[in-house]
Structure formats: structure tokens, C-alpha cells
Structure 1
Amino acid sequence: MRRTPTPRTTPTPARRRPLRRALVALVSAFGLAATGASVAEASAPTPPSGWTQLFVDDFNGAAGTGVDTSKWQYATGTGYPGGPSNWGTGEIERMTSSTENVALDGSGNLRITPRRDAAGNWTSGRIETVRTDFQPPAGGKLRIESRIQLPNVTGAAARGYWPAFWALGAPHRGNYWNWPSIGELDIMENANGLNTVHATMHCGTSPGGPCNETSGIGGSTTCQGTTCQAGFHTYGLEWDRSTGVEEIRFYLDGRNYHTVRADQVDATTWRNATDHGFFVILNVAMGGGFVDAFGGGPDAATVPGHPMVVDYVQVLSSGGGTTPPTGNRDAYGTIQAESYDSQGGTMTEATSDSGGGQNLGALANGDWALYKGVNFGSSPATQFRARVASGAPTGVSGLVEVRLGSRTSTPVGSIAVGNTGGWQSWRTLPTNIGGITGTHDVYLTFTSGQPQDFVNVNWFGFTR
């Protein structure tokens, strides 16, 4: 069933950089003090021979602390800003970043816990990787896996529980209406405490289409030994580009129980769904279309407070080089500023600009964002343009700079920005650049002679 992806926490539009930095420093100080306590910490398994670890989180840390926000970002509310309501699935909970819903347990696990208040309102947790570039190298393989115990609740008390471990195509970040064409890979979904897990690929168009949406191309199996709820099991995906026909295989405890092959759909559908990176998501929803197929819920009999417990998440790569292929972004399309691969000092917020979605905000001197694999083609790009807004005070301005390959390389172009009339008062500003061809990692860097925030960026792109 559709697993519409996770948003970031949406800050209020007021400038808040000094306060935000102070809070981060305070939380870090408490975190360092707490981690001095003795805790039992687990580890992800060592990568097999021939595999390289691209990402790992063992969720080691003090009990009651949140996730590592250099690796994960919280999805909050009831949908992406400007995107479908109820995450596009009909689920009823409100996602939060509270440690009541998302927290480490001090024993090397993450717990995502649905809760219900006295008024009957549900909250839960949803996190996604900051990175969006997980895909196999050309001629190689990618493995995404996690060891998870599903919420230990069954029968009527489990009605409405919908835990999931899954991945979404990177183009969805910042454009919340392009599902399912950009691809969704559900590594594990479970409904209503049943001892059955489901794996699904979503793609094509909805409803119907080549991938049978909104159901997708799916398979299911049961947990052996202990049930999915009574013990930990390992859920995995292996995406293989080394075979004659590309395929995506789904595993439970090392057993391949579902496979989707490129030749099951037309070439355009497969390319649109897979020719880019993915980001990884963990969440526990309550209610929605998927659980409706298994009896519905939640209702008065549903018992809150049962967490999905996650031991580790890791992403591995094998063969064909250890980094994903570049060239996944079109320099001449619209590159959403919040779709960065990594960043320093930035935040995102809802935008009132046409098209909605989010913008990159609170940008000040020294901040930066990286966009990997921007393909300029063989005809030179001659202009850079950016959609910017600024509510900076009088005398505060700065430069939005474009650099290739490194954030310390010489800028190939820059745009000077001062106050535009408000932090949501948008203008498209151009600047000429030297002719650029080929594929490059593009850095946006922000330089100012003053310490205050001076600009927001909604999107950028290049022209010939």
C-alpha cells in the first residue's frame, strides 16, 4: 500500500538561527553528559567480503534521547507541507519528534511508540535518512537491511497498528505529488499484529497502471521460530544491477521470498522508478488503507504504547565501484533546494511560493548544501538562476555562490541578495556563469560579511 514519504520538521517562518544554535548546543551538552553512563550497546553485523558499508546506525546512546540528526530527520504532522493529507494513506496519527514517540532505549535500540491521549488522539513517529543517494552502482548491488521486533501486541489490541521499514525515490523529496512514478520499495510492512509481513514495489501511475496501484507489485511471508511480534527478525532488500535483467529481491532472515524484475514493467516505468537514489524510512502508522484490508482500526479495543524496536539499519554496496552512479539530476530542470544530499547549517520550512512544498532557510555566512551528480550535458550551461527571498534587516546581505566538486573551490557564479520584502517574498535572480558541461557535484555556498541570516532558497537551475 502507498507509503507516502516523510517530511522534515517544519519550522515557523520567523528567523530563528541564534535560538536554534543555542538549543542544539544545549541538547548536545546534555547528550554528552548522559552518554557517560554505562549502556549495553549492540552493533550491526560486519559487512560480508566484497561489500562496503555506505550507512549504518546501531542506535547506541543514552535512554530517552532522540535519533542522530546528522543521519535522520523527523517527519512530523499529518502530511508533508503542501502534500496529501494523512500522508496520502488515510492513517490517522500525528507524527512527532517527541522522545515519547521516538527514542533510544539505552540498550542499542530505537523505539517508535504510538500513543493515544485522553481525547483519543494518536501520535507516533516517523524518521527518514538525510541521505537520498542510496542506489546500486552500475553493474553492482545495493543492500538495505534492518533487524526489527514489531510491536508486541496481537489480536483486538493490535487493531490499527501499521509498522513499516521502506525506501522512497529521491525525487519525491520536495515534490510530494509524483508518487508512485518515482518508486517506492516497501521492505517490511505489517498490519494489525498478524504474523505476516509484506514487501512491495510501487511504480507507474495510480490507480491501476503497469504496477497495479495502489496495491503495487507485492509478496508476503510469515516469521518462523518466533513470531514477528515476539522477537527480532532481519528484513532486507537487495537491488541487483549485475544480472542480465535488473531485479529487486526482498528477504526475511536471509530468505528471498519476493522478487521484482525490470522486465515485469515497461522500460520507461522502470527507469522512472529506479534511475535515481532513494532514502530510507522507519515509522509506525495507525489506521489507513493498508490496515483496512486486514480488519481496520484503531478502535476502542486498540492498546497504545507498544513500540517497534529497531536494533540497527545499514546500507551496503557491492561491485561496480562503491559509490552510486552520478548524473541523476538534470541541470536544466528545477532542482528543489531542500533536496540536498548533505548540508551544513541549513534548515527547511514550508514555503508560500507558487507550488508550495518547502524551501531551504535560515541561510547565513558559512552555510552550504550539496547536490550530487548534476548533469549539464555536452552543450555548455551559461546561466545560473535561483528562486530567493530575504527579510534580512537593513545592511545585511550576502552571496549565493555556485561551486563545482568542492565547497572550497572557486565559485563559477554568484548572486548578490539583500532584502526582497520578506522571508516569503520570492524573486528569481540570474547570473552568468562560464560554460559548464559534463556531470558535477554542485555546492551552493552562502557568504556574508554579517552573522545574521540573509536568504532563503526555494529552487535553482541552469540554462544554456
Structure 2
Amino acid sequence: MADVQTSVRTRTRRRLARAIAAVTAGAALIASVGLAIANASAQTDDLQAAQAWNLVWSDEFNGSAGQLPSTQNWRFDLGNSYPGGPANWGTGEIASHTNNPANVSLDGAGNLKITALRDGAGAWTSARIETQRADFKAPSGGVLAIEGRLQLPQVSGNAALGYWPAFWALGSPFRGNYWNWPGIGEYDIMENVNGLSTVHGVLHCGVAPGGPCNEFNGLGATTQCGGTCHTGFHTYRFEWDDSGASGQLRWYADGQLFHTVNESALPADTWASMTNHAGYFVLLNLAMGGAFPDGVAGFSTPTAATQPGASMLVDYVRVYTAAGSGEPTGEPTTTPGGGGNRDAYAAIEATSFNASSTGLPSSGGAIGPLGNGDWVRYDDVAFGSTAPLDFMARVASGAAGGVSGLVEVRIDSRTATPIGSFALANTGGWTSWQNIPGNVSSVTGTHDVFLTFTSGQPQDFVSVDQFYFRR
């Protein structure tokens, strides 16, 4: 306990020094508001500091169908428990995990595929993998982001009873001990049970049962991904922010902030125990049965009606770090009003376009509302010699129900095939901003970048504030 107390005091002095410096400089501090399920307007991502994000690890799951995931990146958890650890992985799940390509392999289309199977005797098998690295943590005074794009098993109703896909992270001291949970910390970035349309973001910490994280339930929140999380791919992201006077944990689905836990909501020793170690490793698994799906269903799962053969698909897993909001690594090179090279990896103000469709509206530093056929052009955007992995745009929509459209990126011509896009519907209003990611295909060098807007309805569906690319 003495070491923890010393660490807490050191951390408090460091944060106090940062806070005093920030106030002196006139910087805005992140307020400690206790445990909250925050809405999108509270999102603290700042695209002005986009150039500070650095990709520190990723797996894009490219390879031939049937190939196992890279053992340089991942290790397989086999059987029903860690050696010497709790039975059934400590969750009550019943599937035995394997490294059989039938349970875990690449699909040949850029995805990892984890499949739950049942044999003729009724025994279930599935898979669980975790990163070789176990040192993912927020840099001092900075931010850690863990992000994945996943599709849930496409099964619902009675056929889905017992399915429990998850994307999560565990504190590194768990390796080799297996009995120090939940004190070492667990960040459930995405959990789904029984084929329901919702996903959950949960923090596990402290002691069990009970404690400051209400174990065994944890501190959690739920989202429907803007409608349902059960169809198509969705992007899930967790951020551990150490850049302010007090730490903060944030959970996102498709760029929408849906859960926040502030350091001030937890005892100092609890926060220290889950943050003052080497870091975290990331896990992907598809469990069958166990405490969570059983508790939601009200009975034991899976059942005879549960359909085997459904899969969780993972397009990518990426880990980023960034300097703190008070410690930027540089200024964006965007030139307002155009002219000169623009850095693709720095925030580009939407109003700085060089050309646009006729009568393009703008208001309050953003462009929009925009609809089908609208476009804007940004000249001389420099991507360098390394292609981006995706792009991020800060957008809002006050579109009527049922009205949606695509925000597209095109290179050198507004009629060229889009290299990337994302769909958008109502975000809660024309000033209810969200940061939405979209994958992009390979592009290097310097190009004119077009944002184009496509919809099957004539009504406006989007306003754009800023955008940038990530690598």
C-alpha cells in the first residue's frame, strides 16, 4: 500500500503542475464530473490535435482464407481456462477454445473470423486470442486509443441464445497470476449477448464482489449504435485519457461517445492499481454461455435451439497514442482558404475548401447542411509515402427520420471512384457533432481531395466541421 500511496502522491503532484500550467496558459481543463453516461456533445476528441495521433500497433487481418492469425501479433488461449486459473475462464462459459482454422482464421476478405461450432455430442468449440504485447497504456500526459471494426454474429432470437462476442483488454499483471482480477483492470470495449441489438462498454476494477466497480457487474453503459449494432460492421473505440488534471476513460460506438468513467469517481488506490502497471493486452473472443448471457436470458444458455456456425468478424484492431491536449506535438499545416500543401494527417478545416458545388452553405466555421450532389475540393493534400488506414470527419446531422447518406472521399476528380466513405443519419441536431471514421483504400503522394455527398433522398443530411486521415 505504501508504494501505491507514493505513486498516487506523485501522480497528483504531476497533474497539479499540469493544471497550474494549463490555467496560466488559458487552457481549458477537463472537468471531473463523476461517473456519467455522456452524450455526443460531451465528446472530448479534438480534431485540432489530430496530428498527435500515432498508430503504435495494428492488425488488418489480410491474408488467404483459412490462414491462422499472425502469431507475431496474437497468442491462442486454449481449452477452458488458463493453466492454474479459474475454471471456464472465470465467466462460466462452456465452449472449449481451439486454434483450429474452423474456429479461428482469416476469411480471405480482410477479416478475422471466429466461429462457434457444436459437435454431434453437443459439445461447443470456439476461439479466444490475445495480443502478444501487454504494454498498451496511455503515455504520461497523453491518450491511449484501442479501436476495432467488427461485425457481430449474424444470428438472433432463440438461435442466438448463449452467443457472447467480446473485444476487450486486461491488465498485464493478470498474465501468470490469473487470480488478481479485477484489481488489475478490465476494459470491455464491446460485449454483446444473445444476438441482441445492443452492445455494452464496461469497466471492471477494485475488488469482487462489490467494491467501487459494483462487481461482478462492473460499471457499464449500453448503446444501439444509432439504431442496431447487430447488422453490418460497426467501429468500437476505447480511450484512456491521462492528459488532464484527472484521468478519464471513454467508450465509443461509430464515433458516438456512450460511456465515461472519471478518475474522480473511484478511490485513488483503485485507479492506481489498474493504471500504474506495465499496461494492457487486447483480447478477441466468441464465448458460448456463461454468467452474462445466462443473466440476460434468465436461464442457462446455450439451449437446444441455439444455432451453431455463426461468426464474429473483425476487420481490424488498431492501437493509437497521442500527446495530451495541453502538450501538442505540432500545429496543423492546413492553410485556411487554400493554397500550399496540406498535411493529410492534420485537421483540415471544412471551410478551407478551394472549390465547391454552387451555393454551398456554411455556418459557424462548418459547411452545411449538405445533401445529394454537393461536393467540396481541397487542393494539394500530402499523404507522403505511407498510405492512410482510414479517415475521420467531425460531422453533425439534423436530418429527418429515414433520411441518411454517404460522406465520400475521392481523389483528383469528383467523379472518380470513392476511396472511402461512411454513412450518416441524424446525430441529434445540426450542431450535435460526432467524430466518425471511415476506411480508405491506398493512396500516397500529393492529391486534390474531394468530399462528395450522396443520398437516395433530396433532403440535406450532413454538416462537416473538419476531417483528417490516420495511419
Scaled by the length of structure 2, the TM-score of the pair is 0.57
Tell me what 1:301 maps to: 305
Shift in Å, 1:224:
2.4
Amino acid at match of 1:165: F
Tell me what 1:310 maps to: 314
SS in 1 for 2:51: coil
Amino acid at match of 2:252: Y
| Superposition map of 1:10-409 within 5 A | 48-225=50-227, 227-276=228-277, 277-295=279-297, 296-319=300-323
Tell me what 1:450 maps to: none
Can you list the C-alpha shifts for 1:271-325, whole angstroms capped at 9, x where unaligned?
0011120000000000000001211410100001110000000000001699xxx
Shift in Å, 1:229:
2.4
**Distance in 1 separating the partners of 2:102 and 2:66:** 8
Shift in Å, 1:245:
1.5
SS in 2 for 1:49: helix
Amino acid at match of 1:318: A
| Superposition map of 1:443-454 within 5 A | none
**Distance in 1 separating the partners of 2:133 and 2:183:** 20
**Distance in 2 separating the partners of 1:107 and 1:313:** 15
Change (3 A) 1:48 1:313: farther
Contact 2:198 2:225 in 1 (8 A): yes
Contact 2:57 2:318 in 1 (8 A): yes
Amino acid at match of 1:143: A
Can you list the C-alpha shifts for 1:7-55, whole angstroms capped at 9, x where unaligned?
xxxxxxxxxxxxxxxxxxxxxxxxxxxxxxxxxxxxxxxx952111111
SS in 1 for 2:296: coil
**Distance in 1 separating the partners of 2:208 and 2:68:** 36
Can you list the C-alpha shifts for 1:431-456, whole angstroms capped at 9, x where unaligned?
xxxxxxxxxxxxxxxxxxxxxxxxxx
**Distance in 2 separating the partners of 1:240 and 1:179:** 22
Amino acid at match of 2:238: L
Percent identical across equivalent pairs?
57
**Distance in 2 separating the partners of 1:120 and 1:210:** 39
**Distance in 1 separating the partners of 2:276 and 2:234:** 30
SS in 1 for 2:71: coil
SS in 2 for 1:55: strand
Shift in Å, 1:128:
0.3
SS in 2 for 1:249: strand
**Distance in 2 separating the partners of 1:316 and 1:104:** 23
Runs of 4+ in 1 over 2 A off after TM superposition: none
Please report the RMSD computed on the Cα atoms of aligned residues, expressed in angstroms.
1.4
Shift in Å, 1:230:
1.7
Shift in Å, 1:239:
0.7
SS in 2 for 1:250: strand
Count of matched residue pairs: 275
Amino acid at match of 1:299: T
Contact 2:198 2:230 in 1 (8 A): no
**Distance in 2 separating the partners of 1:260 and 1:279:** 20
Amino acid at match of 1:308: M
SS in 2 for 1:212: coil
Q: Identify unmatched segments of 5+ residues in structure 1.
A: 1-46, 323-464
SS in 2 for 1:207: coil
Shift in Å, 1:209:
1.0
Amino acid at match of 2:235: T
Amino acid at match of 2:323: G
Can you list the C-alpha shifts for 1:388-441, whole angstroms capped at 9, x where unaligned?
xxxxxxxxxxxxxxxxxxxxxxxxxxxxxxxxxxxxxxxxxxxxxxxxxxxxxx
SS in 2 for 1:142: strand
Shift in Å, 1:207:
0.4
Q: Identify unmatched segments of 5+ residues in structure 2.
A: 1-48, 330-471
**Distance in 2 separating the partners of 1:218 and 1:93:** 25
Tell me what 2:373 maps to: none
**Distance in 2 separating the partners of 1:114 and 1:55:** 27
**Distance in 2 separating the partners of 1:248 and 1:266:** 15
Shift in Å, 1:95:
0.4
**Distance in 1 separating the partners of 2:80 and 2:262:** 33
SS in 1 for 2:88: helix
Contact 2:198 2:223 in 1 (8 A): yes
Amino acid at match of 1:149: Q
Can you list the C-alpha shifts for 1:201-246, whole angstroms capped at 9, x where unaligned?
1010000011110011111111225x32220000010110012210
